[in-house]
Amino acid sequence: MENPKIRNGNIYSFGDRDRRDGYGLSWLSPTSSLTLSNNDVHVWLTELDPLAECVQQMVQCLSENELVRAGRFHFKRDKKRFILCRAALRTILGSYLNIEPNRVQFSYCPHGKPYLAKKLGNDTLQFNLARSHKLALYAFASNRQIGVDLEYLRALPDAEQIAARFFSAHENASLQALSASQRRQAFFNCWTRKEAYIKAIGKGLSQPLDQFEVSLAPSDPVNLLHVEGDPKEVSRWSLNALTPAPGYVAALAVEGHNWRPTFWQFPESTSQGHQSS
């Protein structure tokens, strides 16, 4: 099996895969034993609604804190999706750690990024997650920081106001230079790429979004272009775009280069149209 290759932060070539979709990228079914070397990056896709019938079983592995957070959702659908998203994360992490999902324990950075509690004895496994609408994405790496973001493509009447407030001057100019038909895709390209980067560095929205720049035009290569005050920072990261399913856009920020991506599904995926660029 040929490994996907990385060039300029973009996944561009794939070998044969177990489950191939119309775009050439496929999501593999989980194996009984998962390993993650320093050169591996694993991305997992979970479709939340098909798991809804398992919610009573999956809720059993959540912590008290997670149950409190679930209880804050007003709509039952959103509560179920949160429960399933967290339970899937625990199940996947448990597979890497060889422990039961309810034994996974988290700590949190000052700005909210989760990491494994020190008592688990594993300080090399890094992970991040994102959830939007009916999907969740999870990214895992060893000894390198990682961030992922996901958005459901939807009408956003105040997109230009949001861009004016949070995007850099150059990003706003690039957005306005596009045709009206391209701007929604470009807006979400920019937003997910920015979110993936700030999640990877662990600063969340404490990092001003207009103090760094990413590419956003649908036809342009996917890149972190500029970080204010730190010109070397750009070379530390590879930024990648993913289309995990029709109507979604996602981004993956990975510290360093020369890593091998593998795409998994939990527990089974029925989506069509998975793609990376």
User: DSSP letters along 76-131, please?
Assistant: HHHHHHHHHHHHHHHHHHHHHHTS-GGG--EEE-TTS-EEE-GGGS--SEEEEEEE
Give me the pLDDT at residue 262, please.
93
Give me the pLDDT at residue 27, please.
84
pLDDT at residue 183 above 50? yes
Give me the pLDDT at residue 229, please.
93
Give me the pLDDT at residue 276, please.
52
Residue 8 tokens, joined? 């300029």
Q: What is the rounded distance in angstroms from the CA atom of residue 206 to the CA atom of residue 198?
A: 9
- For residue 203, give the DSSP letter: -
Of residues 11 and 64, which shows the higher confidence score? 64
**pLDDT, tens digit, 9 for 90 and up, residues 47-62:** 999 998 999 999 999 9
Residue 25 pLDDT class (50, 70, 90 cuts): low
Q: What is the rounded distance in angstroms from the CA atom of residue 164 to the CA atom of residue 175?
A: 10
Q: What is the mean pLDDT of the chain?
A: 87
Q: What is the rounded distance in angstroms from the CA atom of residue 229 to the CA atom of residue 134?
A: 38
Q: What is the mean pLDDT of residues 96-112?
A: 94
> Positive or negative CA dihedral for 28, 136, 97, 254?
positive
Residues 6 or more apart whose Cβ sits within 8 Å of residue 32: none
Q: What is the rounded distance in angstroms from the CA atom of residue 40 to the CA atom of residue 37?
A: 5
pLDDT at residue 274 above 60? no
pTM of this structure: 0.88
Domain count, the chain: 1
Task: Give me the percent of the chain exceeding a pLDDT of 70.
Answer: 87
pLDDT at residue 179 above 60? yes
pLDDT at residue 277 above 60? no
Residues for the chain: how many in total?
277
Range of the domain at 89: 5-276
Q: What is the mean pLDDT of residues 131-154?
A: 97
Q: What is the CATH number of the domain that holds 110?
A: 3.90.470.20
pLDDT at residue 14 above 50? no
